[in-house]
């Protein structure tokens, strides 16, 4: 069983389809993860306990997705010293995701949260991989190979572009 290094949490199970994009990335890089609903508003003690115990459980990065007021990433970041990546989610009660984005990106001084685009859980997963790769040369090599593949795709697209 692989070690769980990334915690993926969300404010509601309705966020799961978006947050599963991060899981796809972590699976591609063979990184262990956990996937949980932890609401800042509906279960604040659960959120506190999760964040306070995360490092002791072996987590190295937390990806936190939330819609609406989106306090989960910032509150978790206030509790743990681990890097937190916030995913603003366009939810049924959001203002096209802007409320979530601003709630996460406008953190006060000394409480940093890395923030990706609205519904950008794929990039949150990749950012978690990059964070882990700072201490893992095999992951760095896999990331370099992925970037090379992306470069090759661009060249191929350019070669086959209809310029008429």
The Cβ of residue 1 has, within 10 Å, a number of other Cβ atoms equal to 4
User: What are the phi and psi torsion angles at 52 (to 5°)?
Assistant: -65, -30
Q: Are residues 33 and 66 in contact, defined by beta-carbon separation less than 8 angstroms? A: no
List b or e across 19-47, with b for residues whose CB sees 16 or more CB atoms inside 10 angstroms: bebbbebbeebebebebebbbbeeeeeeb
99 is in an annotated binding site: no
Residue whose token pair is 């990039």: 123
Residue 13 in marked binding region:
no
**Taking Cα atoms as reference points, which of 56, 59, 30 lies closest to residue 9?**
59
Q: Is 20 annotated as a binding residue?
A: no
Residues annotated in the binding site, as ranges?
12, 15, 42
Residues annotated in the binding site for substrate, as ranges?
12, 15, 42
């Amino acid at each position: 069983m692989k070690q769980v290094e990334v915690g993926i949490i969300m404010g509601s199970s309705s966020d799961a389809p978006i947050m599963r994009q991060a899981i796809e990335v972590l699976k591609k890089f063979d990184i262990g993860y956990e996937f949980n609903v932890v609401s800042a508003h509906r279960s604040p003690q659960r959120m506190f306990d999760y964040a306070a115990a995360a490092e002791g459980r072996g987590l190295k990065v937390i990806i936190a997705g939330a819609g609406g007021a989106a306090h989960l990433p910032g509150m978790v970041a206030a509790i743990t010293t681990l890097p937190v990546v916030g995913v603003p989610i366009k939810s049924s009660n959001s203002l096209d995701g802007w409320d979530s984005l601003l709630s996460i990106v406008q953190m006060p001084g000394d409480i940093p949260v890395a923030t990706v685009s609205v519904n950008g859980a794929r990039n949150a997963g990749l950012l978690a991989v990059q964070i882990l790769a700072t201490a893992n040369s095999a992951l760095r090599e896999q990331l370099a190979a992925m970037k090379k593949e992306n470069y090759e795709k661009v060249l191929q697209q350019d070669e086959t572009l209809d310029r008429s």
